[in-house]
Amino acid sequence: MSKFFSKKEVSKFELVNISRSHSNLKLNGVKNTIESAKLRQLNYWDPVFEGRGVWSIGSDIYGDDFVLTQPNGKVIRVEYKLTIRTFHDLVHYRNIPVGEYCTLSNNQFKRYKNTEDNKHFLMERCIVNFDEETKVGKHNCLAYSFSKTPPEQQWDYLIFRSEDLRNWRPNKDYWLSATNEGEELVVFRKDIIKKRQNLIKHIREASEKGVLLTNDRDKIDSSESMDSIFWT
């Protein structure tokens, strides 16, 4: 069975997703590579949105990422964000375990929270790559290793709106953190999102169809799994 996305395409998705914030690769690649691919995937097959309408790209490069036109003609404009790595936060790990860790840039958080039109957001958290031969997989292995937690594949859709963010309480529902480069982040648990779709049971089918935007490399159950990192 041929895959919807080729190995070369998926490798490019990963490269763009983990590239440095504000770099040309990130700025151009998110819109032209990742969002374009997600749009194709949503119109091909999706465990949540299949049959719920037709997806198209936002008309303005600086506006909404996607437009969902439902069968009844209703139009929903959606901002999209993809996460393929998780983290063990040395400061906030007691509040946000590695299996729950989500992040937005503080600038994104402020912009989304303060928008006037109560935007819709789709945040895809797809932590399925644990192949130590890839940068993404090695990162995820290390995150679970540092947390001393057995690794597990996860796939979630986090669906929320601007008004939800306005109700979040600092140091209760979210915390401030920063990247090594000094970029301010807002970090939070995925279970704070009320409209969270757990897609774990669909990972195998999605992998067989080749629609995931990251490599599905689950070596967790192998006797050789993470020997060099987790079990030492």
% the chain with pLDDT above 90: 84
> Residue 155: pLDDT above 50?
yes
The Cα 101–Cα 152 span in angstroms is: 13
**Rounded to the nearest 5°, which phi and psi values hold at 196?**
-100, 125
Question: What token pair was written down for 121?
Answer: 């957001």
Other CB atoms within a 10 A radius of the CB of residue 25 amount to: 13
Asked whether residue 2 is assigned to any structural domain, the reply reads no
> Does the residue 217 lie in any domain?
no
Q: Report the C-alpha gap between 45 and 13 in whole angstroms.
A: 18
CA torsion 35→139→22→39, rounded to 10°?
0
Mean pLDDT value of segment 138-167: 96
Query: What is the pLDDT, as a whole number, of residue 107?
Result: 94
Tell me if 78 is assigned to some domain: yes
Distance CA 127, CA 135 (A): 13
Is residue 181 situated within a structural domain? yes
CB 159 within 8 A of CB 119: no
At 68 the pLDDT is 97
In a domain, 122, yes or no: yes
- Residue listed under structure tokens 């763009």: 16
Torsion angle of the four alpha carbons 54, 59, 60, 62, in this order, in degrees rounded to the nearest 10: 10
The pLDDT, as a whole number, for residue 61 is 61
Assign 160 a pLDDT band (cuts: 50, 70, 90): very high
On the question of pLDDT at 232 being above 80, the answer is: no
CA neighbours closer than 13 Å in the CB half-sphere of residue 161: 8
Place 185 in a pLDDT band, splitting at 50, 70 and 90: very high
Higher pLDDT, 170 or 59: 170
Alpha carbon distances (Å) from 33 to 13, 72, 82, 219: 7, 30, 12, 27
Judged against a pLDDT cut of 60, whether residue 109 lies above it is answered with: yes
Domain contains 220:
no
Q: How confident is the model at residue 131 (pLDDT cuts 50, 70, 90)?
A: very high
Structural domain of 153: 7-209
Give the count of domains, the chain. Answer: 1
Q: With 60 as the cut, is the pLDDT of residue 223 above it?
A: no
In a domain, 24, yes or no: yes
Largest CA-CA distance found in the chain, in angstroms, rounded = 56
Structural domain includes residue 190: yes
